[in-house]
Amino acid sequence: MRNDTILVLARPGEPQLAMLSQLPAEVKTIVGDAAESFGQEATHANVLFNWSGSLALFKKVFAICPNLLWVHSRSVGLERTLFPELIESAVPLTNGAGVFSGSLGEFTLGAILYFAKDFRRMARNQMAGVWEVFEVSWASGKTVGIIGYGDIGRAIAERVRALGMNVLAVKRHASCSQDVDPLVTETYAPERRVEMISRCDYVVVAAPLTSETRGMIGEAEFAVMKPTAVVINVGRGPVINEVAMIGALSNGRIRGAALDVFDHEPLPTGHPFYKLENVLLSPHCADHTPDWLDNAMQFFIEQYERFRKGEPLRNIVDKRLGY
């Protein structure tokens, strides 16, 4: 019988920590929000779980745990998780990919309908007491291009295909004959993204933030977009060049944008996004369903069961690629 020690980086008292009681009785679980919280137990720990700790704390605790066999991050994005020592180590890292994908898929679908049916105009007229008849657009038959076709991208594709939309996708390794996704009409390599974007009515960014993806949607990409195109970002803010996007939105170069992520969060007071009529702004909470944290903790508990039994872990991160 193995006697694992799990260090959990979190503020003691967070509600979901009570779910750790589901772990086997012989597992020692220690929760803390400072490296000093773990004392000598850090030398015995073989699992490190970053639930809500900062990057600085994560790095500090990792350095005092010489016997780690597995590290898990609640977050899907890893720009605030990876650091050189972890990347260089042989310790496997997993993340919460897949836990939040469904709600981000629903947000994307909602954003598409928001612009297709011009819900902002409806709400504005209602509040002004104005009866104004106007035409709305079809979503069915339009083309959605997904930048970063991973788990979130697939969740988006499932939902928009059900609406009768056509799906194109950009992924690091374009589909080959033995790897065909029935949800996607055509897959493009990243260097062909401009070609794909020029065909799209909705451009959805679902890519992680890495050195390769930072700023990958910039002036060249906005220049080829249809004037009726809508950009939707559920990935990471800096994947889109914010200055270029503000210019495209302000000048009417594209129809609009629905944004859940930004370069700086919280979005600073007075930022142009707050006043642009063609922007739908979500304060990075598109996946904050009532059970999102419970689901994230349950995923870790299920992952631990795989670890305990020696079964393959899900969501093993390629630490050098950053996803």
Task: List residues with catalytic annotation.
Answer: 236, 265, 284
Tokens standing for residue 251: 């000048």
Beta carbons of 228 and 214 less than 8 angstroms apart = no
Give CA–CA dist 196/192, Å, rounded.
7
3-state DSSP assignment of residue 280: strand
The answer to whether residues 189 and 176 touch, using CB atoms and an 8 Å cutoff, is no
H helices then E strands: how many in the chain?
10, 12
Instruction: List, in order, residues 6 or more apart from 79 with CB less than 8 Å away.
Output: 208, 209, 210, 236, 322
**Beta partners for 49?**
8, 72
Adjacency order of strands within the sheet including 47-50: 28-32, 5-9, 47-50, 70-73, 93-94
The label of the residue with tokens 């939040």 reads 100
For residue 316, the 8-state DSSP code is: B
CA nearest neighbour of 272 among 244, 309, 306, 298 = 244
Helical segments of the chain, H only: 41-44, 55-63, 84-88, 101-116, 119-128, 151-162, 193-197, 219-224, 242-250, 292-309
Angle 177-178-183 from CA coordinates, rounded to 5°: 80
Phi, psi of 107 (to 5 degrees): -60, -45
Please tell me the distance from the alpha carbon of residue 38 to that of residue 50, in angstroms, as a whole number. 14
